[in-house]
Structure 1
Amino acid sequence: MCLMIGWYYHLPACASEFEVTTLVDESLQLLVDAHHDTRAKVSLAITGSLLAHIETHRPRFLTSLGDAIADAIVELVATTYHEVCPFLIPPRYLHRQITLDLKTKQRLFSIRPTAFWSGNLAWTPALPDILSELGLHTAIIDEAHLREAHQTQLWQWLRKDSMQLDTLLVDTLMSESLIHRTYRLNQSPDSALTLRILSSDLRRSLSFGTTGALHHAWDDAPLDAFITRLEETQSPTDTTCRFTGDDGDRINPVSITQYRRLLDALGPALACVSDPLENAREMTLDFLPAHAPGGSDFWQDPVAKAYGEILTELYRAADMGYVEEDDILPLQDVFPIFWKRIARTRWYYARAHDLLRNTERKPRI
């Protein structure tokens, strides 16, 4: 058996110094130290914008992370620079988001990731061509963030492989027919993409003191059962790979002791998410055009619809030369759309309106 663990870390573009330092000190550093101590490999998808925040507020952590990368303990995975919904933004902006993320990781660590983790809502038909152009040939989608994929074309494609949606509850979304699988998506000869689905079994097994918990904190029984199940599946001839992972903030001072127990038990079996695998399922899929990604029902949400209209105005202003495209990138963050936190939304709306007001005073180019 080959066990792969991946964690996804992001913060909003308007994150405060307190949020950044708390995430580093009470999650990221704990995670990296645990893997470094046990020599167990792990894949981390840390958004470029979060790395930039860390460079400003916790630069010493970048040294620790760089050492773990150099020791081949941590594999850094590409993301979009800000956490965005790929199918909700124009392809050229998606390209800029990924390019900026790659440049940030190359600048900080002198490495270029080979796998891509797409984050929330996961997919757009434009993604394979963009990733191929940027030299990224593996895409990662975790089970927790795939919960909205039924609104995108990816849902329709994977249904061809007998995927069934069991329930809309956050943590019991898919049957075992999908998670842990690897697919080879052939959109065109030049943009074949390996797609790997990560299970949320690990999240369900760890105890948290957070709203993400499915059971009380400090309950060891689910983790013990999880470890036992994985140990029982291990054999020299077993080629099945199990993927586990979720948002990195599930690692915290409450859960880290349990997580270390997992690494102590299964550390030698761990591999990086982008490591080559055998027995990938080949699927030739009928892709819709890039301008028809699906998900139209999503825009019935009044907050998302209102904010989407503002972004559309900004795209039009950028096309006319009134606004720099890079100034729009932070405003494509998922936070004002999905989480609808008033303070967050106010920050994004204010930035967007400031850019639009500047266009009124700017001569047309």
Structure 2
Amino acid sequence: MPQPIAKRPVRGATVNTESQRFKLPHTEADGDWLDACGAIDGAAPPLRTSVTVEQARTIISRNTSPDIGFDRSINPYRGCEHGCIYCFARPTHAFHDLSPGLDFESRLFAKPNAAALLRAELRKPGYTVAPIALGTNTDPYQPIESEWRITRSIIQVLAETRHPLTITTKSDRVVRDIDLLAPMAAEGLAGVALSITSLDPKIAATIEPRAPHPERRLKAVRALADAGVPVYVSIAPIIPAITDHELEHLVERAAEAGARACFFIPVRLPHEVAPLFRAWLDAHFPDRAARVMATIRALRGGKDNDPEFFSRMRGTGPWAELMRTRFLIATRKHGLARRSAPLRTDLFRPPAGPQGELF
């Protein structure tokens, strides 16, 4: 495993680990050089974010996973500046010969042709309608959306064609698109899930350093609810000995903000996420790192991660059962033990062809 690098302000990963699966070049920091650099120059400077344009060939990703409630999704961006240390999407950066560590949160890819590709796919004669999920891999409302507005362009196409969509995000930037989402929701075409992992600003800033403050996300829940958009709170992931004590309070605050329901997922550590998470624990929570990992292994059949369908989303064993019991009691108490409402698929109308768009 590579040496820990100097901590960067408002970044999540503490190492830029290589991928063992895709044989990225292995590099190790020179400890003597780091010591001298720190003594002379002080703390490491902020790591700047770069964005590379990706000319995608297709935009709708499909899956057949039996434990996921959608079969298609769109990811406007690769990588995510929010820097959530637990993000299960980090290993995807290895496909670009980039690290799932700091590269994932600082070297991003944007797909500005997403709306045009979507329009073309929806126009195909054999297309069948089902809700499209946004935010299933990386966040569609991460900071660069303010400039690139790719997510908004996608929603515009879906609104125009009356196509159902769901959104999952950690950002209150979603309220900027209420003008599109509210009319869609009125027709049963849209639902939004806000992910809130912790209400403690210090913990939130450590585990997801560039995501908006938890209170801003709760205000976004209220704004969406007031606009008539079905909104849910995702308590995901729950991290043992770090955020699990907040479960009941999170459910209570979600109900107060107007959420229709809640759901949760225990922390998952697939592939390169596990060593990144361990390094992060050692840097930020050395007093409980061993206890956190021991509980995670108890949840995951004695391993750092369980990739099996269904159990990967729920966990197994006494700790997982206790968490489910606590969650059920809390959601019943606050009236949030409900399933999400199905979205309509019968209103879809394909976009006009190239000739029709001329008139």
**Normalization by structure 1: what TM-score?**
0.34
Q: Which one scores higher on RCO, CA 8 angstroms, separation ≥ 6? A: 1
Structure whose residues are more often helix by fraction: 1
**Normalization by structure 2: what TM-score?**
0.35
